[in-house]
Amino acid sequence: MSSLVEQRPAPSQPRPYRFPEVVRRTAAGGAVVAAHLPGQPLAVAALLLDAGAGREPPGQEGVASVLADALEEGTATRDAAAYALARESLGAELSIVVDWDSFRAGVTAPADRLPAAVQLLAEAVRTPRLDPADVTRVRDDAVTALRMSWAAPGPRADAALRADLFGAVGAADRRYARPLHGTPGTVAAVGVDDVVAYHGSWLTRCGTLLVAGDLDRLDLDQLAAAAFAGAGPQPEPVTTEVEAPARAHRRVVLVDRPGSVQSVLRLGHTAPPRAHPEYVPIRLAGTVLGGAFTSRLNHLLREVRGYTYGMRAEYAMTRRFGRFTVSASVQTAVTAPALVDTIAEITRTQAEGVTEEELAVGRTWRAGQLTVDMQTPSAIADALATLVVHDLPDGYHAALRQRLLQATVAEVSAAARTYLRPEALTVVVEGDAAAIREAVEATGIGEVTVAEPG
């Protein structure tokens, strides 16, 4: 029997999107932010701590990431094997994420087992074993992984762009000029005492407990008591925007990779932080320019010119700073024309704005992506973290989809005019400097320098 049909089924009407009800309370000396997911058999609880990479001391870039890996090496009362067995007996999964703004450790478990899972979570976060031999091994593994990553094209270009954008900020914010997880050199310099000290300074604080699950089956006070037992007070948050002055003129930085048959391109400038009131039109301007497969940059550089498999442009926005970045890899021979076309397209978008046809695609794609992404308890917990870290209202996610769909050409074009700065771009090219320098200089797109090795 054939299962083929003569006509393709028509799409049904989209169902309305509803973000779960958000519940906030203070319990056991800490803050709890929860989302109610009626009937959901799985639940997520996560400790959100103000201990992200932005808190790392100078010269210890990557210490938070080393600590994150070391938390799975056992606790004060259980070695790594015993801790893993205890977690697996509950059907619980542990996840730890470090970003610029936060250190987040969470567990996913069946709802009826979440209280015991949270006790295990608190045990790992508050009283890790941090055996010197384990910490050293974890650190060395991280260094090896970074060295392997940095041997491939891309990370050195990313690091050069970040250094140029944020290298001139004040000493207190200089951390943002180095990669999120550090470099092979900075991580290799992290010692056991550094990891122990970082833990004592930041992971013994209360933080915020995020919970996503069926709240009718969960006792938030019980979960908070387990998560915050013995924890100290919250640190004073740092919310001031990073002062990173924009360049008056474009600059081109060559990262030499002798013999390379491709050039890695990274173009960027600073941007507003995540809580900016024009986040939606800024994001949509980036989507039209380079955030989707149908975007202007991808169409021109891939489909028309055939220079690359793909090119993307995006705004990455954190609590204290933002960054606009264009990323691609092109054949060495077309490095210079690819840069000229890329800058010209950014300039055109900044000057002319977007069209209704382009924006319609960007609106529906971003709104649809949001709906798809918010399907699991883990995704909802991530969304709760966004509310807390960026001090957004509880109804933010509930209104975000509609805000995306209602954005106008005028709004998005205005955002492009204001927050695209082609004249202030730092242009980083990782490739064979001897093969590309003369052609890049001949374009006149900016002063060309060669980055120091390392």
pLDDT tens per residue across span 270-309: 999 999 999 999 999 999 999 999 999 999 999 999 999 9
User: Do 175 and 263 have their domain in common?
Assistant: no
Residue 1 has pLDDT above 60, yes or no: no
Q: Is residue 1 part of a domain?
A: no
User: Do 39 and 78 have their domain in common?
Assistant: yes
- pLDDT tens-digit map of 118-163: 999 999 999 999 999 999 999 999 999 999 999 999 999 999 999 9
Percent over 70 (pLDDT), the chain: 99
User: Do 305 and 264 have their domain in common?
Assistant: yes
What's the pLDDT score for residue 138? 98
The CATH number assigned to the domain holding 356 equals: 3.30.830.10
Binning the chain into helix, strand and coil, the percentages to the nearest 5 are 45, 20, 35
Mean pLDDT confidence for 170-184:
91
Q: Is residue 236 part of a domain?
A: no
User: Do 314 and 209 have their domain in common?
Assistant: no
Q: Is residue 12 part of a domain?
A: no
User: Do 278 and 327 have their domain in common?
Assistant: yes
Lowest-confidence region among 51-65, 168-182, 246-260, 277-291: 168-182
User: Per the structure block, which two tokens stand in for 276?
Assistant: 């900016």
Please indicate whether residue 164 or residue 452 has the higher confidence score (pLDDT): 164
Mean pLDDT confidence for 366-375:
90
User: Do 217 and 262 have their domain in common?
Assistant: no
Please indicate whether residue 244 or residue 350 has the higher confidence score (pLDDT): 350
Q: Going by C-beta distance under 8 Å and a sequence separation of 6 or more, which residues neighbour residue 266?
A: 157, 158, 160, 161, 325, 326, 327, 427, 428, 429, 430
Q: Is residue 14 part of a domain?
A: no
User: Do 96 and 156 have their domain in common?
Assistant: yes
What's the pLDDT score for residue 244? 86
**Domains in the chain, number:** 2
User: Do 331 and 441 have their domain in common?
Assistant: yes
What's the pLDDT score for residue 212? 98
pTM listed for this prediction: 0.93
What's the pLDDT score for residue 302? 97
Q: Is residue 27 part of a domain?
A: yes
User: Do 224 and 368 have their domain in common?
Assistant: no
- pLDDT tens-digit map of 68-86: 999 999 999 999 999 999 9
User: Do 207 and 328 have their domain in common?
Assistant: no
User: Do 307 and 213 have their domain in common?
Assistant: no
Question: Which one of 197, 228, 259 terminates a domain?
Answer: 228
Q: Is residue 341 part of a domain?
A: yes
Q: Is residue 233 part of a domain?
A: no
Q: Is residue 80 part of a domain?
A: yes
User: Do 256 and 218 have their domain in common?
Assistant: no
The beta strand positions in 28-152, using DSSP E, are: 30-36, 42-49, 93-98, 103-110
- For 105, the domain range is 22-228
